[in-house]
Structure 1
Amino acid sequence: MSKRESSTGTGGATAGLRAPRRRTAVIAAVLLVVVGWPTLSALLGGYERTGGGEIAVVRNGGFFDDNRIRQVIDPGSGRTWVGLYSKVHKYPAQQRFYTITSDAGKGERSGVDVVTVPSSDGVNMGIEGTLYFTLNQDHAALRAFDDKYGTRKFRSADGKTYNAFDGDKGWSAFLDQIVRPVIDNDLRSQVNSFRCAELVSSCALVQNASAQQAAAVGRQQAQSNNGNIAKVQNAINTSLAADLDSTLGGKFVTNIHFNLVRVTLPEKVQDAVDRAQAAFAQVSEAQARVATAKAEAAANKARQDGYNKCPTCARIEELKALPQGITVYAPGNPNGALLPQK
């Protein structure tokens, strides 16, 4: 056999050995991508940690696991093993608030958001305020909360649905759908025990009363309005805690405090109040002018009486009223006062 034939035979055998090796390498690479990478990702994703303002509930989520709660991770934790494919529900751990305000863009709902409730005498009143609270971080309470509210979705103001643990949008959707109705009900119950004028003194100006009675009631109520608003606020703080526990089905929120910021009247009622106040201002102005005129008339009469009793005094006052620099003064003469020639 020639050298060329021998070389060709050896090369063919080497090429034949390389082909299976390439196939083996390709298969190994595919297996690594298909099996190894997901396994590595699952192992790396099996660790979780929380920030300083959040607390986490971990649920099993593996292929052969149930969906029960596995553990709770406290705020500000280091990396914690939570298992393969587990689901982590993160909730706010710091104080939160829910704002109801007519100032568009500053409340939980977009645009103007005011709770409108009737007073005991039938006047619709707008209530603005802020509810402050903290999610209960007791592990047993948090597990129960996640069972009740972490396993369903809530519809937000934009029409989309979120889980309560889906960031700020999810938490706001939960508050708006579950907590807001409780706030509205408590405000309605407490405000309904007061008359309009007991919370807004100017309300007396447009109710069935004379001007004098309305003004008197307004002055009297203005002194007690702040006290009545404080009573409403304290009553809400007392009832709201119990109502939230009852509605939510457990003591899931703590440190509850409602700050009643403002009580307003409907636009038409407020317009009537403004018109009444303007009318009272005009009356007061007219009364002031009458009083001024009476005072001036009384002063003139007293002055004239004095002149009648003392003609010399009248002459002296007349001389004082003359301009400076006259050379001749002749009472009774049309040209009685002559100024010096310049």
Structure 2
Amino acid sequence: MAGSKKIPRPSGRISRGKAIAAAVVLLVVAVPTLNGFFGSFERTTGGEVAVVRNGGMLDNNKIRQIIDPGSGMTWIGWWSHVHKYPAQQRFYTITSDSGRGERAGVDVVTVPSSDGVNMGIEGTLYFNLNLDHATLRRFDDRFGTRKFTGADGKTRYAYDGDGGWSGFLDQIVRPVIENDLRTQINSFRCAELVSSCALVQNNAGGKQQQTSLKVQSNNANIAKVQNAINTSLEQDLQQTLGLPFLTNLHFNLARITLPEQVQQAVDSAQAAFAKVTESQAQVAQARAEAEANRARQEGYNKCPTCADIEKLKALPKGITVYAPGSDRVALPTR
């Protein structure tokens, strides 16, 4: 019909722009949803325990649950955060052996003895993290929400692997260990812990002199220090941390060393005493030989014939003529 308008037919196709927009919306919604779903399951190995915190877009950040060591696959909720901590026995080592301690390089606690000698302490603290659920919640609230500086200078959370855990121990536990060592070592004299320290002594003028102090066994005193630390360390850590977060504590005192200058003085004193001992041995030997010669001569005086017999024994082999009482000795000729 002339002059009439055509009615547009509905198209079964979606415009390209609408298709792209729909795909973008789908990706924005689907990808986080899938990630949230597949990330909503967690499990732990036999050597770790997990503290789970809420983390949804509309959720709070409170602790949701605790996953015990060696668990199966566990639902932890959408977009939750998991803080994993060590569940097995751990240790904190202080040693002069570079690379073995918790700190880089030489790592020794230096504390003074009661007579003012700085002594290097090496040892290892063994402990377990308290796995009680209520205690773990308090631990994560107090130490799992802040970062600690590691030996490499980087800051990490306590649950960020070995680096984060070592940083926590280094900043929180290490000062308590040092304080306990300082308290216990300061109740003993240097020679009571290191026997060789008795060879030297600081006088008022600051010079080192040899002393006649008796070198004594120090194993019993070292055991006293170790036992005292094991008694006080658990109480001090609980008081410092607020709760018994660490249990089964045992400190093994491995070695006590002297400062380099003091050790050099000890070595010099030992070398000097060795020379004195050598000289005394030589004097004793000379005295013994003189005494033997004196006794021998007295015997000869009482028995002249015995002296002649000794002279005959001392003659070289091959003698043909010998006249006792004179200096004439005839040797064989060719």
Task: Tell me if TM exceeds 0.5.
Answer: yes
Say if 2:228 is the partner of 1:229.
no
Which of 103, 110, 115 in structure 2 is aligned with 1:116? 110
Task: Classify 1:242/1:328 alpha carbon distance in 2 versus 1 (closer, same or farther; 3 Å).
Answer: same
Moved more, 24-33 or 53-62: 24-33
1:67 to 55, 61, 65: 61
Deviation at 1:125, TM superposition (A): 0.8
Could you say which residue in structure 1 is the equivalent of 2:173? 179
Calculate percent identity across the aligned residue pairs: 71
1:214-225 alignment to 2 at 5 Å? 214=213, 217-218=214-215, 221=216, 223=217, 225=218
Kept in 1, the 8 Å contact 2:148–2:171? The answer is: yes
CA deviations 1:182-204 (Å, max 9, x no partner) are 00000000000001110011111
8 A contact 1:330–1:337 mirrored in 2:
no
Query: Does the 8 A contact of 2:200 with 2:210 survive in 1?
Result: no
Q: Are 2:291 and 1:307 equivalent residues in the alignment? A: no
Between structures 1 and 2, the one with greater helix share: 1
TM-score normalised by L of structure 2: 0.91
CA contact (8 A) 1:59 1:87 kept: yes
Pick the aligned partner of 1:283 from 276, 279, 283. 276
Question: 1:204 is aligned with what amino acid?
Answer: A
Aligned residue in 2 for 1:7 = none
Q: Deviations over 1:208-251 (max 9, x none)?
A: 5985723xx11xx2x2x000000000000000000001101001
Report the counterpart of residue 152 of structure 1 in structure 2: 146
2:57 alignment partner AA? F
Contact 1:102-1:113 within 8 A present in 2 as well: yes
CA-to-aligned-CA distance 1:35-91 (integer Å, 9 cap, x gap): 112111110000011111110000011112111110000111111100011010000
How far does residue 327 in structure 1 lie from its aligned partner after superposition? 2.4
2:125–2:249 CA contact under 8 A, matched in 1: yes
CA distance in 1, matches of 2:293, 2:326: 26
Unaligned runs of 5+ in 2: 1-8
The alignment's TM-score, normalised by the length of structure 1, stands at: 0.89
Cα-Cα RMSD: 2.0
Aligned residue type for 1:40 = L
Question: Which has the larger displacement, 309-318 or 172-181?
Answer: 309-318
Out of 326-335 and 299-308, give the one that drifted further: 326-335
Equivalent position SS for 1:256: strand
Secondary structure in structure 1 of the residue aligned to 2:125: strand
Alignment partner of 1:133: what SS? strand
Matches within 5 A, 1:1-342: 17=11, 19-20=13-14, 25-207=19-201, 213-214=212-213, 217-218=214-215, 221=216, 223=217, 225-331=218-324, 336-339=329-332, 341=334
Checking the alignment, whether the CA contact within 8 Å between 1:136 and 1:251 is kept in structure 2 is yes
Stretch moving more, 20-29 or 316-325: 20-29
Following superposition, the deviation at residue 23 of structure 1 comes to 5.5
Give, as a single letter, the amino acid of the residue that structure 1 aligns with 2:59.
Answer: D
1:99-144: per-residue Cα shift (whole Å, max 9, x none)? 1111111100011111111111111111111111010111111111
The 2-side partners of 1:164 and 1:88 are apart by 12
Q: How many residues align?
A: 322
2-side partners of 1:321 and 1:18: how far apart?
A: 137
The 3-state SS of whatever aligns with 2:316 is coil
Task: Letter of the 2:167 partner, please give it.
Answer: A
Mapped partners of 1:125, 1:108: distance in 2: 20
Structure 1 residues 85 and 71: CA distance shift in structure 2, 3 A? same
Is the Cα–Cα contact under 8 Å of residues 41 and 73 in structure 2 kept in the other structure? yes
Letter of the 1:103 counterpart: D
- Supply the AA of the counterpart residue of 1:213: S
